[in-house]
Structure 1
Amino acid sequence: MGPSQSRKERRAKKKRNKRIEKEFAQDNEVLNKEIKILVLGTGDSGKSTFVKQMQILYKEGFNESEKELYRNAIRENIKNHVKELLRIANRLGLTLQKTNLYNSEEFMRLLKEKTTEEITEKIKNCVIKLWNDQALKTAFKKRSQFQLPDTANYFLNKTEAIFRSDYEPNEVDILGCRIPTTGIKQITFGLNDYIWKIVDVGGQRSERRKWIHQFDDVHLFIYVCAISEYDQQLFEDDSVNRMLESLKLFKKTANNEHFKEKDCAILFNKMDLFTEKILEVDLRVCFMEYDGGKDLENATQFIKNKFLKSSKSKKREIYCHYTCATDTENVKFVFESIQSSVSQKLMEKSGKL
């Protein structure tokens, strides 16, 4: 056994260890930092779908209780889709086949009944027959004039499977399921030495007053705009254009006292639908000053410039991305770009770069 350390040497060693620990803690302060990202946007923009993708990509997907929740919600979605399609058909003066006049009445009656296996089976049969009626197919094509989700046909085409007792929703089903966000929802996960907190708040007008309580300690906010909805009206107010509402809300948020120096990522979502629609519906239905014709590049650039010009701050970075929130690989690519930008900014502030 070697000679024991002197008291002085022990104190020096202890002091040196403390210094090393302090330096280590300082070096890891940024690496272990929690990064808070707020996901904002109007109702039906796709922001909650984006957050679901975070759970698929960086968590372990959805557990059994969550799948059960979505199973029930998807069935309710289907019922609501048929109700809305029947309303649209009536508004447009479309006539159901004679046999489906009874099915329509039976369907509406069954919705008022207490849910049982027998009632569920009868509802399923009515839905299948009604969805095969040409009047409802025509009504679906007119959906942009009414309040019908773009995913309605996807679920209606799967009615037989969805109403089976052993049905378990897959990721595509869950991503397409419509459950309006109420209150505040968040997920937290580790990625590249950071703790990421993604906060989703309701986009309906009645929910926006809750946003202010989430403004503190935000590193970046993601604003989701459904770029394809330039010819559609709000669910809450059918006299207001969805695109104009989204632009107005972005301007108000971006120039808010709490956010004016925060970086922002704008996700122009539903690009797949926009790419198809712009060939048929001129952007002038929303912006009378637009003169770029039914051209994808012209229309996309025009909308992008509208959003960029509405931000008054010269101190923020605005990252623009074109997305399809139901496409997992697309969302992964976009979020990797966002997290890389945020991480680099934090490293620069810490003097690591």
Structure 2
Amino acid sequence: MKNEIKVLLLGTGESGKTTVVKQMQILYKDGFNKKTQILFRDAIRNNLKKFIELLLEAVDRLELKLKKSNKIIAETFTQLNSSSEQENILSKKMVHCIVTLWSDPALKTAYKNRFTFQIPDNANVYLDNTLEISKHGYIPNNQDILGCRIPTTGINEISFHVKNFIWTIIDVGGQRNERRKWIHQFEEVLLLIFIVAINEYNQRLFEDETVNRLQESLKLFTKMVNNEYFRHKNCILLFNKMDLFEEKISKYDLNGCFPDYKSGLDCDDALLFITKKFKKPSKNSKRKIYLHKSCATNTQNIKSIFYSVKEIVTQEFINQLSFL
């Protein structure tokens, strides 16, 4: 279509690509219908049980101790979780287990050390609201849905009109086993948006816990910006989860990820260092890489970033049409 602008979202798993797509749904497609809200409600309820399961495993691995009275609660939770209890419905007994276990100091300590195992950074938001989520009439709002993590498999697209153009955003799974599908989406894409979860500099891949997440993201970005399809196209580099990065960098040094980093727990220095790392690999010196800092769950932040993206891409698109 002559007035269609195709944008490809790339990044590793958990980087926030799908959250950006959800924001497009909110900003340009009138949000989520009731059917979709129910799907996310079910996912959130299942996630609550998964979060407690992961935290109990971490408690054992970190050799932490549950309160004596909560050991029986943990056993009950495990039995309920492995039984044929209907999915998507939280029984009163299950809710009691989740609320009680989440209040245990051992699980709180495990959560503080969450970078050592695989659990979403916002799991606490849902666990803190277990009673509300378990209510019969609970329907997740936009913020609940934005924070809900469901791994992307396959290829998802969203199209919407902005002024005289149709924008098509293509989101593909970021985990390693999904990346072989990317090559089929490269043709006719005008812009690459590569999303980096910048806070993950001390975390490991879900699919390979020997690999640092930020190192994997840098390696993948290097490969993509020098791919034959994108070598001459501009790129938007989105440093996502900045709020979590700013919180983490005050406690955990970046040199655990990049040994050549020597500036300690300084947010500005760390950000500048990472920026240089990501801008260096491009072999095309004429290509522009536009950097934006984001928090993908913040609708106003993404709206502002997308406004800037629209201005850049629309002008480039018009220039291409004029050339043709």
Q: Same fold (TM over 0.5)?
A: yes
Larger radius of gyration: 1
Distance 1:331 1:37 in 2: 15
Q: Cα deviation per residue 1:301-328 (whole Å; 9 max; x = unaligned)?
A: 1111111111112342211000000100
Tell me the SS of whatever aligns to 1:217. Answer: coil
Contact 2:89–2:134 (8 Å) recurs in 1: no
Q: Structure 1, residues 105-139: CA drift from partner, whole Å, max 9, x if none?
A: 11111112223498622211100000010100111
CA distance in 1 between counterparts of 2:22 and 2:90 reads: 31
In structure 1, list runs of 5 or more residues that go unmatched: 1-28
Return the offset for 1:330: 0.4
Partner Cα distance (1:323, 1:62) in 2:
22
Q: Is the 8 A contact 1:113 1:119 kept in 2?
A: no
Partner of 1:236: 207
Q: Tell me if 1:92 matches 2:62.
A: yes
Which range moved further: 174-183 or 288-297? 288-297
Contact 1:268 1:320 in 2 (8 A): yes
CA contact (8 A) 2:90 2:134 kept: no
Deviates further, 193-202 or 110-119: 110-119
Report the equivalent of 1:246. 217
- Match of residue 50, structure 1, among 5, 9, 20: 20
Could you list the runs of 5+ residues in structure 2 that have no partner in the other structure? none
- Partner secondary structure for residue 261 of structure 1: coil
> Residue 147 of structure 1 corresponds to which residue in structure 2?
118
Task: Write out aligned runs for 1:1-353 (5 A).
Answer: 33-116=3-86, 120-351=91-322
- Displacement of 1:62 after TM fit? 0.4
Q: Secondary structure at the match of 1:186?
A: strand
CA contact (8 A) 1:270 1:324 kept: yes
Structure 1's consecutive aligned runs of 4 or more residues displaced over 6 angstroms after TM superposition are none
Alpha-carbon deviation of 1:72? Answer: 0.5
C-alpha distance in structure 2 between counterparts of 1:65 and 1:114, whole Å: 25
CA-atom RMSD in angstroms: 1.5
Instruction: In structure 1, give the amino acid aligned to 2:294.
Output: T
Q: Provide the rounded CA distance (Å) in 2 between the counterparts of 1:205 and 1:348.
A: 36
- For residues 322 and 151 of structure 2, what CA distance do their matches in structure 1 show? 42
Q: Amino acid of the residue matched to residue 225 of structure 2? A: A
What amino acid does structure 1 have at the position aligned with 2:49?
K
For residues 350 and 207 of structure 1, the distance between their equivalents in structure 2, rounded to whole angstroms, comes to 33
TM norm structure 1:
0.89
| Aligned-partner residue type, residue 35 of structure 1 | I
Match of 1:14 in 2: none
- 1:230 match: secondary structure: helix
Give the TM-score normalised by the residue count of structure 2.
0.96
Conserved 8 A contact 2:199-2:245: yes
How many residues align structurally? 322
**Structure 1 SS opposite 2:280:** helix
1:55 maps to a residue whose letter is Q
8 Å contact from structure 2 (residues 5, 189) kept in 1: yes
